């Protein structure tokens, strides 16, 4: 498949068949905290030359790590502060094909009102006649977004896993 097989136009995220998850190691490094965001919205545009752009809006309150006490802590003022900053956003300013099924994404991630520029690779695949799926993983330093780490419980970077299905 080549990027030219992806039809140019406007796309909308299919939230039922998409997933935005996260993973971060505990201070022992033996286990990982995993979770997903249950409410994600998105849009995208593919240009005739194969480049693309778009954005995601993630509801912080929809975070679910299958542990209520931990989820409440992650949503608290100490961490994501869902009350003051209810949304995490990513604006993909440019998605540039790098191969027949790969691309580089450049954009701006905003968490807790702090924005940082990111660049990361994704794979993509046409699905049926009107959909495209993008998959990738983004590594971030939570401290750069103002997330605190009381008692040093969480070490190192966090990984955001993306499995996004967009339909025309």
The domains of the chain are located at 3-167
Percent of the chain having pLDDT more than 90?
A: 74
Phi and psi torsions of 136, nearest 5°: -170, 175
Tell me which CATH code domain 3-167 carries: 2.40.128.110
SS (H, E, C) 70-118: HHHHHHCCCCCCCCCCCEEEEEEEEEEECCCCEEEEEEEEEECCEEEEE
Q: Provide the pLDDT confidence category of residue 143 given band limits of 50, 70 and 90.
A: confident
- Per the structure block, which two tokens stand in for 122? 């994704």
Residue 154: the pLDDT is: 65
DSSP state of 71: H
pLDDT in tens, 91-140: 999 999 999 999 999 999 999 999 999 999 999 999 999 999 999 999 99
Q: Provide the pLDDT confidence category of residue 2 given band limits of 50, 70 and 90.
A: very low
- Per the structure block, which two tokens stand in for 138? 């983004």
Residue 153 confidence (pLDDT) above 70:
no
Q: Provide the pLDDT confidence category of residue 27 given band limits of 50, 70 and 90.
A: low
| Cβ neighbours of residue 30 closer than 8 Å, sequence gap 6 or more | none
Whether the model pTM is above 0.75: yes
Pick the most confident of 31-40, 82-91, 142-151: 82-91
Give the residue, 156 or 157, on which the prediction is more confident: 157
Instruction: Determine contact, residues 162/3, Cβ cutoff 8 Å.
Output: no
Pairing of strands 87-97, 63-64: unpaired
């Amino acid at each position: 498949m080549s990027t030219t097989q992806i039809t140019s136009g406007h796309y909308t995220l299919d939230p039922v068949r998409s997933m935005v998850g996260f993973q971060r190691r505990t201070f022992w490094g033996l286990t990982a905290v995993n979770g997903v965001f249950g409410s994600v919205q998105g849009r995208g545009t593919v240009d005739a030359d194969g480049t693309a752009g778009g954005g995601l809006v993630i509801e912080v309150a929809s975070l679910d790590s299958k542990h209520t006490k931990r989820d409440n802590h992650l949503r608290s003022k100490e961490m994501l502060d869902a009350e003051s900053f209810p949304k995490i956003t990513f604006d993909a300013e440019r998605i540039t094909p790098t191969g027949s099924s790969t691309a580089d994404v450049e954009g701006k991630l905003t968490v807790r009102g702090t924005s940082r520029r990111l660049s990361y690779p994704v794979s993509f695949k046409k699905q049926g006649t009107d959909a495209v799926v993008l998959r990738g993983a983004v590594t971030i330093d939570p401290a750069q977004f103002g997330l605190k780490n009381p008692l040093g419980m969480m070490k190192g970077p966090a990984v955001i896993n993306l499995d996004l299905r967009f339909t025309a």
